[in-house]
Structure 1
Amino acid sequence: MSKKILIIEDQAPMRRNVALMLELEGYKTCTAENGRVGVEVARQEKPDLVLCDVMMPELDGYGVVQALREDDNFANTPFIFLTAKSDRSDVRIGMNFGADDYLTKPVVRDDLLAAVQTRLARAEALQERMAESGGFNPDFTSHEPLQKAFSLTPREAEVLLWVTQGKSNGDVAAILGMSEKTAKQHLGTCFQKMGVESRNAASLQALEVLSAR
């Protein structure tokens, strides 16, 4: 069965162009012209992957990914930002909110297809592992399993443990008695050691470790 992809983009020519590129590869598409409509369409259509512009009226891309990640139905749905901004700080903000990847506009066909295929494949693999294990049943009582699994320092492992429970950098800083900047730095080091680029990807790997019997 062909996968369904939601494209949330306020520029109609870009929206049509991306949809056409995907449809020519056999994907089903649905579209939305702004973030607010995009969240509604996502809940109606339940897409397998979301492509979303960052800068939009009514609700920007950061607001969209936050709204969807708060819904259990979209906790693991691949989310790719489309951004005209090449500034790494904008990309990192998106990753911290729960995006899995980003593409810089104008989107190159090969880059688009590669990103979509990679993220869908990872999502399928995750679903299979969850089905085999009966879902995650993590033990959050100790950070030590994370420390050992990813060669983290005790402090880095503590930060990752709280992030995996859905805490923001500000929350983690308050809980562990550090500055938000320090919490962010520790998390960035965790990403490097784990070979991931987003909070979502790091959390999924951590959940696997914490759920191991």
Structure 2
Amino acid sequence: MKKKILVVEDQPQMLKNLALMLTLEGYEVFTADNGKSGVETALERLPDLIICDVMMPQLDGHGVIQTLRAEPTTATIPFIFLTARSDRGDVRTGMNSGADDYLVKPVPRLDLLAAVEARLARAEAVEARVQAAATNIGFQPDYSSHEPLMTLGLTNREAEVLLWVAQGKSNGDVAAILGMSEKTVKQHLGSIFAKLGVENRNAAALQAVEVLGKPKG
């Protein structure tokens, strides 16, 4: 089955070039020419990966990823920012928003394809490990307490956040459950990712599930 990629870009020629490049590589490509349309298309099509420009009308790239990360169905989709801005501050902002990669225009074709392949492969590997763990005989994660997750080097609050993320809760859900703002949830997730040495929610959730599924005693 073809992998589905959504490209969100407000420059017509750039959008056309990216779509053609990816189509020729065998991907099924959907496009959107602004952030608002990009969010709508992502929620409808549920792509395997999203490539998104940062500076766009109606809703910029940061708004797109924040909106999609808050939705359970799109929260873990690999996300690549594509932008003309290469300042380190911009890169940091993009990664803190939950992006998996950040490529600067004009990005060479081979670099773009390598990034796409790497992110898709990583997402597949994480999903395979989650499925394998979930199907092990006797494997049953115990979500009754966040305390086992503190063995990963997390603070009490970080462990609480990760416990709910491991159960598929969105940032908004976690904020409501734990009585904090979504901004605070994102800050905790950034710290969790750094401590666990991972880059996204899927990988963090996998480590949590593995810990919570260990036999007691």
TM-score by length of 2: 0.73
Question: What is the letter of the counterpart of residue 62 of structure 2?
Answer: Y
In the alignment, is residue 22 of structure 1 matched against residue 22 of structure 2? yes
Contact 1:86 1:104 in 2 (8 A): yes
Cα distance in 2 for residues equivalent to 1:119 and 1:81 = 12
In the alignment, is residue 82 of structure 1 matched against residue 85 of structure 2? no
For 2:56, what is the secondary structure of its paired residue?
coil
Cα distance in 1 for residues equivalent to 2:117 and 2:140 = 28
Render the CA deviation track for 1:94-113: whole Å, top value 9, x for unaligned. Answer: 33333222212212222211
Q: CA deviation at 1:85?
A: 2.3
Contact 2:72 2:170 in 1 (8 A): no
Cα distance in 2 for residues equivalent to 1:56 and 1:137 = 44
Task: After superposing the two structures, state which structure 1 stretch, 85-94 or 152-161, moved more.
Answer: 152-161
Count how many residue pairs are aligned between Structure 1 and Structure 2. Answer: 205
Q: CA deviation at 1:63?
A: 1.8
In the alignment, is residue 52 of structure 1 matched against residue 52 of structure 2? yes
1:1-213 matches, within 5 Å, as 1-132=1-132, 133=134, 139=142, 142-148=145-151, 150-152=152-154, 166-167=170-171, 184=187, 190-198=192-200, 201-213=203-215
Task: After superposing the two structures, state which structure 1 stretch, 122-131 or 3-12, moved more.
Answer: 122-131
Cα distance in 1 for residues equivalent to 2:214 and 2:125 = 17
Q: CA deviation at 1:7?
A: 0.2
Cα distance in 2 for residues equivalent to 1:131 and 1:13 = 40
Question: What is the letter of the counterpart of residue 208 of structure 2?
Answer: A
Contact 1:137 1:211 in 2 (8 A): yes
C-alpha spacing 1:48/1:153, structure 2 compared with 1 (3 Å): closer
Contact 1:68 1:75 in 2 (8 A): yes
Cα distance in 1 for residues equivalent to 2:26 and 2:191 = 39
TM-score by length of 1: 0.74
C-alpha spacing 1:199/1:48, structure 2 compared with 1 (3 Å): closer
Cα distance in 2 for residues equivalent to 1:200 and 1:92 = 20
Cα distance in 1 for residues equivalent to 2:43 and 2:179 = 34
Q: Unaligned stretches of 5+ in structure 1? A: none
Contact 1:34 1:57 in 2 (8 A): yes
Question: What is the letter of the counterpart of residue 99 of structure 1?
Answer: A
For 1:95, what is the secondary structure of its paired residue?
helix
C-alpha spacing 1:208/1:81, structure 2 compared with 1 (3 Å): farther
C-alpha spacing 1:197/1:45, structure 2 compared with 1 (3 Å): closer
Task: After superposing the two structures, state which structure 1 stretch, 116-125 or 137-146, moved more.
Answer: 137-146
For 1:74, what is the secondary structure of its paired residue?
coil
Q: CA deviation at 1:58?
A: 0.6
Contact 1:100 1:201 in 2 (8 A): no
Q: Unaligned stretches of 5+ in structure 2? A: none
Cα distance in 1 for residues equivalent to 2:91 and 2:201 = 12
Q: CA deviation at 1:191?
A: 3.5
Question: What is the letter of the counterpart of residue 110 of structure 1?
Answer: L
CA-atom RMSD in angstroms: 3.5
Contact 1:85 1:104 in 2 (8 A): yes
Question: What is the letter of the counterpart of residue 149 of structure 2?
Answer: L
